[in-house]
Structure 1
Amino acid sequence: MNKAELIEAISDESNLSKADAKRALDAFISVTGKALKKDDKVALVGFGTFSVSQRAARKGRNPQTGKEINIEAKNVVKFKAGSELSAHVK
């Protein structure tokens, strides 16, 4: 499912116009991104938790040349699914 399909599904499920559903989804993405940038967690009970984790620097290999390279440390977004979401997937 891509973003356009998700907007259409939200619109159908919630009886919102597609424009309103798009604004709601864009607002969710924006607010979540801002919270994660401040190193906050975003927890949606039953759905899951978004958090930021530090990935340590490490050595890697260029697959084309085989030459060893240094990969810098960085922050990555993690998602842990909640119980209701996990139950829907089973």
Structure 2
Amino acid sequence: MSRTRTRADLIERAVAETGLPRAEVSAMLDDMLRLMGSALMNCETVKLTGFGSLQVRSRAARTGRNPRTGTEHEISPRHTVVFTPSAQLRQALATRVSGGDIRESTREVATVDR
């Protein structure tokens, strides 16, 4: 079964690995997420070496279709955040997949550890 990592999970793991106080780790994560969000709100790219980059992209207006009824409707233009994994992350995932650490029934990739 797939496991979603939450903010609390990340904090607990960082506390365990660094020995820093939970409040300090939590504040650091909050600051990092705030800085990343602020950069994205300013349409800047956030690059995290060894992990990937987050980039704001514009999507044009388009016609969508309700799959149930088939009726068409206009989807307004918007901005969206796109994640592009780094070469190292892609390689690690490819190694895991080829090594059999992927569930074939759901195509879920196992957690990648350094």
Cα distance between partner residues in 2 of 1:45 and 1:21: 20
Percent identity of equivalent pairs: 37
User: Which of 6, 13, 20 is equivalent to 1:16?
Assistant: 20
Q: Could you tell me which residue of structure 2 aligns to residue 84 of structure 1?
A: 88
Cα distance between partner residues in 2 of 1:71 and 1:79: 22
Q: What do residues 38-71 of structure 1 show as CA deviations (whole Å, max 9, x unaligned)?
A: 1111112211111110111111123444321111
**What 5-or-longer segments of structure 2 have no aligned partner?**
96-114
What is the TM-score with the length of structure 1 in the denominator? 0.85
CA RMSD of the aligned region, Å? 1.5
Cα distance between partner residues in 2 of 1:22 and 1:88: 27
Aligned residues: 90
Matches within 5 A, 1:1-90: 1-89=5-93, 90=95
- Quick one: higher RCO (CA 8 Å, sep 6+), 1 or 2? 1
Cα distance between partner residues in 2 of 1:80 and 1:17: 32
User: Which stretch of the first structure deviates more once superposed, 28-37 or 58-67?
Assistant: 58-67
